[in-house]
Amino acid sequence: MHPMHIGDLTLTQIRLVAELLRLRSVSAASDSIGLSQPAASHALAKLRRHFDDPLFTRTPKGFQPTPYGERLGLAAQEAMATLVAGISSGRHFDPSTTTKCFNLYASDVGQMVFLPKLLDYLKKAAPSATARVWPIPMEKPGLPLSSGDVDVAVGYFNNLTTGFRQAFLFRDRYVCIMRAKHPGFAKGMSIEAFQNAEHAIAHSTGMAHADLDHVLARYGVRRNITLIVPGFHVLPMVIPNSDLVAIVPGMLAEVYESHVPIKVLPMPVPIAPFDLRIYWHERNHHDAPIRWLRKVFVDLFRTSGGR
């Protein structure tokens, strides 16, 4: 068989072989791809010479592929399907039929705030889609975003800069939570009550609260920390049954307040608010599924806001 490099094939020839296998007719295949019948016959003759194989022959059962012609035709059909899917993916995305798994970075706070609304929306608009939340790495969280392993990051990030785009979602601020009948806060918030109370703190990657104690120290205010937990998800089970106080984002306090008996009070000193955003890598800026997901987050949460 005469060797033929893939670069020697034209797109028209690949389309012709794919349609010949499907339609089993030179005239029907030529009509399907917009060639005249003589041009299609000429292209087929050229392919036969290059491959040293008839590819398709007339038999008592009609126009049939040779064994090699069938393998070549199947490969051509697969190649065309892949090409069409690739071209279409950049132009159109149908959430109602997609089976894509959306991969997200979100802190435990973000998961509690964003996931209920997001999953409810996906169930209606993209019922076959799934979502997976990945733990935020302590170092180089941008690498999985740039490689495409993670689609978007949602929340507060100060280390996604070069090569990344972002969209504002809402502004939040910190508040204090304690059990509804906490005796130390019967008259509301005060610096004295705040400092006399025992505090629980939560560590959560990707949040703005890392410098809270430094900010409080500027006002001469300190926390008496007696409990440290790895994430905010534990606090709703601890705070209502103790005299502990915790500082949490306002939107998270609203989530807690709807489930457990707590009191929500302002900070004892002014603390700057912080912005929650959605981030994505430049290489995915025009990707249709990720564009759709970004719009979903903006539509669902841009009008939201903490206390």
Over residues 7-41, the pLDDT tens digits come to 578 899 999 999 999 899 999 999 989 999 999 99
* HSE-CB for 140 with a 13 A CA cutoff: 4
Does the pLDDT of residue 227 top 90, yes or no? Answer: yes
Give the mean pLDDT of the chain: 89
Fold of 6-89: Arc Repressor Mutant, subunit A (1.10.10)
Answer yes or no: is pLDDT of 205 > 60: no
β-pair partners for 56: 65
For the entire predicted model, the pTM comes to 0.68
Range with lowest mean pLDDT among 75-84, 234-243, 278-287: 75-84
One-letter amino acid at 144 equals P
- Chain centroid to Cα 218, Å, comes to 39
Residue 299: exposure state from Cβ atoms within 10 A (0-12, 13-18, ≥19): exposed
Q: What is the mean pLDDT of residues 148-169?
A: 91
Question: pLDDT-based confidence at 88, cuts 50/70/90?
Answer: low
State the Cα–Cα distance between residues 123 and 131, nearest whole angstrom.
11
Residue 3 has a pLDDT of: 47
pLDDT for 298 equals 95
Quick one: fold of 174-272? Answer: D-Maltodextrin-Binding Protein; domain 2 (3.40.190)
For residue 91, what pLDDT band results from cuts at 50, 70 and 90?
low
d(CA 206, CA 276): 11
Same fold, 101-169+275-301 and 174-272: yes
CA angle centred on 241, ends 238 and 242, rounded to 5° = 80
**Residue with more model confidence, 86 or 292:** 292
Distance CA 39, CA 28 (A): 13
Three-class HEC string of 188-210: CCCHHHHHHCEEEEECCCCCCHH
pLDDT 10s digits, 165-199? 999 999 999 999 999 999 999 999 999 999 999 99
CATH number, span 101-169+275-301: 3.40.190.10
Domain extents in the chain: 6-89, 101-169+275-301, 174-272
Query: What's the average model confidence in pLDDT over 97-111?
Result: 92
Pair 159, 210: CB distance under 8 Å: no
Q: Which helix (H) or strand (E) holds 176?
A: strand 174-179
Percent of the chain with pLDDT over 70: 92
